Amino acid sequence: MTTGTTNAAAAGTWRLGDRTVNRIGFGAMRLTASADGSPSDRDRAVGVLRRAVELGVNHIDTAAFYFSARRSANELINRALSPYPEDLVIVTKVGPGRDPSGEWLPMARPDQLRGQVEENLRQLGRDHLDVVNLRVYGPEPLAEHFGALAELRDAGLIRHLGVSAVQPHQVAEARAIAPVVCVQNSWGLGYRLSNDALIRDCAAHGTAFVPFFSLATSGREAGATGVEHDEVRAVARERGVTPAQVRLAWTLYQGPNVLAIPGTGNPDHLTQNVAAGALRLTPADLTRLAAVHRGKGGAPS
């Protein structure tokens, strides 16, 4: 695998409704703050976004509630990429909210979702949203909330709908109301194996499965900062890549409907993430990593 010709198209494509995206995308959550919690460098964040598009990324995941003391992911995207490339698909999410101090608010009521959609439109500088995911809390029914978003789709504010942080019965509930183009859940190598069956269900329905925290090791939400399994390190050494690249490549091997949205504020990590889409794992590699996923792949180190 070479990085001189790195392009997200090497990962293949998938359809989100009527939009085609490369299977390696970009998650904007980490753009707003540095590792120590301080506001990110604005110019560097803008540069990372522009470089991502140069590398063929045409699927960006964001939310109005991705912000730090002085940075907003949506406004960084607007500044960096507007006027937007025609093939760029921006996916955002609604449901949760945060007050100006960053404290989380209760789940929005169905009648409050229009305001959240309009806030995303304003921040991004768009007249419609390509995809909106309803981010839910817990196993409660989502029909009222998803129905409210379906009405906004019918009104032209939203093109396509998805769901996030859901259980299988909630996906079925949403499908009964309107088409679901993507399901976005926390999942990765050795993490949240309960989603394995949901990935297969999504594939059967032509629905994208978009995992977040797919680079997580023991750090989970902290990203690829924890200890790593010996087998993952070994495969990485043998392939001449990083363990994070092995994790991303393995993620993409789990089905043609699986999309990756690794996030970073580091331009070097961005290049490595995109290059992972061209990494071809061998059957032996996949067998070893499958054992890690099932918890039988040796110890983390």
pLDDT band at 296 (very low <50, low <70, confident <90, very high): low
Distance CA 234, CA 240 (A): 10
Which position has the higher pLDDT, 155 or 194?
155
Q: Which domain holds residue 134?
A: 14-184
pLDDT value of residue 5: 65
pLDDT value of residue 3: 42
Would you say residue 50 lies in a domain? yes
Distance CA 171, CA 150 (A): 14
pLDDT value of residue 216: 62
pLDDT band at 213 (very low <50, low <70, confident <90, very high): confident
Whether 199 and 209 have beta carbons less than 8 Å apart is answered as yes
Would you say residue 45 lies in a domain? yes
Whether 179 and 218 have beta carbons less than 8 Å apart is answered as no
Would you say residue 242 lies in a domain? no
pLDDT in tens, 133-151: 999 988 899 999 999 999 9
Please count the structural domains in the chain.
1
| Pairing mode, strands 59-61 and 89-94 | parallel
Would you say residue 136 lies in a domain? yes
pLDDT value of residue 2: 40
Which amino acid is residue 158, in one-letter code? I
- Say what the pTM is: 0.93
pLDDT in tens, 14-70: 999 999 999 999 999 999 998 888 889 999 999 999 999 999 999 999 999 999 989
Identify the CATH number of the domain in which residue 31 sits: 3.20.20.100
Average pLDDT over residues 221-237: 78
Structure tokens given for 222: 């902290």
The residues annotated with a catalytic role in the active site are 66
H or E, element range at 292: helix 283-293
CA-closest candidate to residue 94, choices 49, 129, 45: 129
